[in-house]
Amino acid sequence: MSNHTRIEHLGKPRVLIIGGGFAGIELAKSLRDADVQVVLVDRENYHTFQPLLYQVATAGVEADSIIHPFRKIFNDQKNFYFRLADVEQIDTANRLVETSIGLIEYDYLVLATGATSNFFGDKEMEEKTISMKSLDDAVTLRNTILQNFEKALQVDDEEQINSLMDYVIVGGGPTGVELAGALSELRKHVFPKDYKELDFCEMDIHLVQSGPALLKGMSEEASQKALKYLEDFGVKVWLNRRVKSYDGYTVYLDSGETMVSRTVIWAAGVSGSPIRGLRPESILKGNRLLVDVHNLVSGYDNIFALGDVAAMVTEEYPLGHPMLAQPAMQQGEQLGKNICNMLAGKPLEAFNYNDQGSMATVGRNRAVADLKIFKKEYKTQGFIAWLIWMFIHLISVVGFRNRLVVSVNWLWSYFTYDTGNRFIVGNKQVNIPVEETISHKAVV
């Protein structure tokens, strides 16, 4: 398709934002009163609150309550235009982006395309594991977990049962830790009631971390405490191990150990998702785009990158900022201001990351938090950290209605030790050809 797509021409500079994650949304918002046309392109029609994907996967909150339609977020913003499209490549010479719905012109292009799972070239791993980057991934994992137990009911070989009931999570960052914690809570409080015919002593949850500590980047206290919480919950944490290979059934660690599981969750590496058409010199290792302190992509004067896909290499952050919501949102907001500065002929302000700390929750009453408030550090673990985690995540979910729905779910889970959303919906699940190996024994 080579025709231009149909977007009203306002006679104003057009800021074309690719990707409606944290960075893209903040930028669009901060351009609310700017004399520009804001065009947001995304392949979904909604913003996803990624930090709670693991709760969708573990039936803690409704899938719909952590997403928010772009058109609704920007209902009242007059200069905002949305297009649902896949972006194919950039034609920088002609200031055009090629998309699935046609060509879109830009004056300023902003890449806020986020990150994807990095399988380091291992195709088999990519095919046979489940990631945790999109709503689709989360629903797929939820469906897979629930289907596994339904299938385990049909099996009488012990190894087969284990392969269906055991889980291996690769990666000991926040996603891996939070998933392992949530799964072990389900194992304790929920699954045994739902599947009385299964023996949940048989359900193993493995967490494999390549480094010597969990939650890399957080304090030693946080990482120690997270490890302790997980071990208390009965999670088998494998430190200093890498998954060498996985054939859909057996997981081989580089240390020689093996485990059997039909469900391996990939929460290990991520890499940026840049788009074709940029000069290769601008693309660093890990597929991030080298940007200056104004988020300008190196070698261009009107192409910016924000968030996970941007690597702003500074003395303090020689590999760029951590791939988290906070720097993404702050960069988005800053770039909004700088675009206004540019249009007004004013000097640009350099981005200065205000790190407010980080946190992760392991389960009920158990979280770890390294907070930075007015540059002072506060470390806390346990109940208080858990309350702070809940509060911050609750207020960060986009949309008042969503906040109410998430609150209902959390209060409900807290008081009933139960989560409500154990549905197998759609046909999304990792295809487990268990039929081939199951012997349907006549027990009736």
Which residues contribute to the site for its own copies (CB under 8 A)?
Answer: 1, 3-9, 44-46, 62-65, 67, 69, 71-72, 75, 81, 83-84, 101-105, 135-136, 139, 146-147, 150, 153-156, 193-195, 197, 399-402, 404-405, 408-409, 412, 418, 420-426, 428, 435, 439-444
Of 336 and 399, which has the nearer Cβ to its own copies? Answer: 399
Quick check: 9 and 33 in contact, CB under 8 A?
Answer: no
Of 305 and 432, which has the nearer Cβ to its own copies? Answer: 432
Q: How far is the CB of 259 from its own copies (least distance, A)?
A: 25
Of 364 and 428, which has the nearer Cβ to its own copies? Answer: 428
Helix, strand counts (H, E) of the chain: 12, 25
In the three-class reduction of DSSP (H, G, I as helix; E, B as strand; rest coil), residue 4 is classed as strand
Hey, what are 220's tokens? 């030693």
- Residue 319 CA from chain centroid, whole number: 20
Specify the amino acid at residue 207.
Answer: L
Helix%, strand%, coil% for the chain, nearest 5: 35, 25, 40
Which residue do the tokens 């960069």 mark?
Answer: 331
**What count of other Cβ atoms lies within 10 Å of the Cβ of residue 297?**
25
Of 301 and 435, which has the nearer Cβ to its own copies? Answer: 435
Of 8 and 281, which has the nearer Cβ to its own copies? Answer: 8
| Positive or negative: CA dihedral 130, 131, 136, 141 | positive
Q: How far is the CB of 207 from its own copies (least distance, A)?
A: 27
Q: How far is the CB of 355 from its own copies (least distance, A)?
A: 33
Torsion on CA atoms 299, 304, 308, 310, rounded to nearest 10: 20
Q: How far is the CB of 309 from its own copies (least distance, A)?
A: 24
- Catalytic-labelled residue, pool 178, 185, 202, 257: 178
178 is catalytic: yes
Give, in order, the Cα–Cα distances in Å from 420 to each of 62, 140, 194: 9, 17, 11
Q: How far is the CB of 383 from its own copies (least distance, A)?
A: 24
Active site residues: 178
